[in-house]
A and B are shown apart, each in its own frame.
Chain A
Amino acid sequence: MNHVREYRNKQKLSQMLLAEKIGVARQTINLIENDKYNPSLDLCLKLAWALDTDLNTLFWRGKNEEKMETKVN
């Protein structure tokens, strides 16, 4: 899982407000948060800027995290 929802909640932004801020549809934010859509690098950067963080923090998954997700899936 990425950390978009976590950082959005930290910033007290709704999905709709975040979507408006970076110029995408709310559904796109929802899909990204639920790992159902892989955003482009450009959109990742916009998300990072809007959430006042960096790409690593938002999207990087450690090896352990990846293994756990593979097991769950």
Chain B
Amino acid sequence: MKKKWKQKLIKHFFGIAGIYDEHVELEVGKATTWAVIAVFIFEMIFNFGMLLLASLGAIHNFETVFYLTLAIQIIGVSAIISLVTYFRFKKSGINNKEVIAEKKTATLDKFYRKSVSVGTGFFLFEWIFSTLFDMNGQGLWFTLFTWREIRMALLEAIIFTALMTFFGRRKIKTIKYDNE
């Protein structure tokens, strides 16, 4: 039970569409090892560089540099992990969902239905979440139903759903009944 929950989490985190078997587990292990090495190198070089700059007295506005450093760290680490794992998985082909021609239509239907439901969920989450930060002293219900909030959440949900569908669709591969 515990293992299944962990497997689900790993599958969703890395966007693995197919069956999570021991070979996939091995490839995930290899990919994440490379990602950890890449993150370690990035962190070492970046932090050492910042330390050097600070100790040489080249930094005057520490507050701005602090925010900038945080932003670079977040973007850098996310980009490294995403790119390293994406290319490793693409090379090994483990994030592909293989279907035979007869089952393709049904699989695509299921995939599109799931995309719509995830997109709707994302819209609701984004709508409520952004409203909580945009109230400016006005009531929750008033702000929630302003056109601005709905439009923003809708736009973000459409972009998110379109990207998710585009990349998800690319993972579905049609194969012959027995690919040698």
Residues of chain A touching chain B, judged by Cβ–Cβ distance below 8 Å, are: 14-16, 19, 23-28, 30-31, 37, 39-40, 42-43
Contact = CB atoms under 8 A, between A and B. Distances in A.
- Which of A24, A26, A27 neighbours the largest number of chain B CB atoms within 10 Å of its CB? A27
Contacts of A37: 23
Majority secondary structure of chain A interface residues (helix, strand, loop or mixed): helix
Nearest to A42: B22
A7 B124 CA distance: 53
Nearest to B26: A37
B178 interface: yes
B179 A15 contact: yes
Interface of B: 18-19, 21-24, 93-94, 96, 98, 100, 175, 177-180
A16 B178 contact: yes
Contacts of A23: 19, 21
Given A16-B100, A16-B177, A26-B179, A31 B19 contact: no
Given A15-B180, A24-B23, A26-B175, 6 more contacts: A15-B178, A16-B100, A16-B178, A24-B21, A27-B96, A43-B22
B59 to A, nearest CB: 51
A40 B22 CA distance: 8
Contacts of B18: 25, 27
Closest 9 CB pairs of A and B: A24-B21, A14-B178, A28-B23, A25-B19, A25-B18, A14-B177, A15-B178, A25-B21, A28-B21
B30 to A, nearest CB: 12
A27 B94 contact: yes
A27 B23 CA distance: 9
Contacts of A27: 18, 23, 93-94, 96, 98
A23 to B, nearest CB: 7
A6 to B, nearest CB: 13
B44 to A, nearest CB: 34
A43 B24 CA distance: 13
Nearest to A8: B178
Contacts of B94: 25, 27
Nearest to B178: A14
Nearest to B97: A25
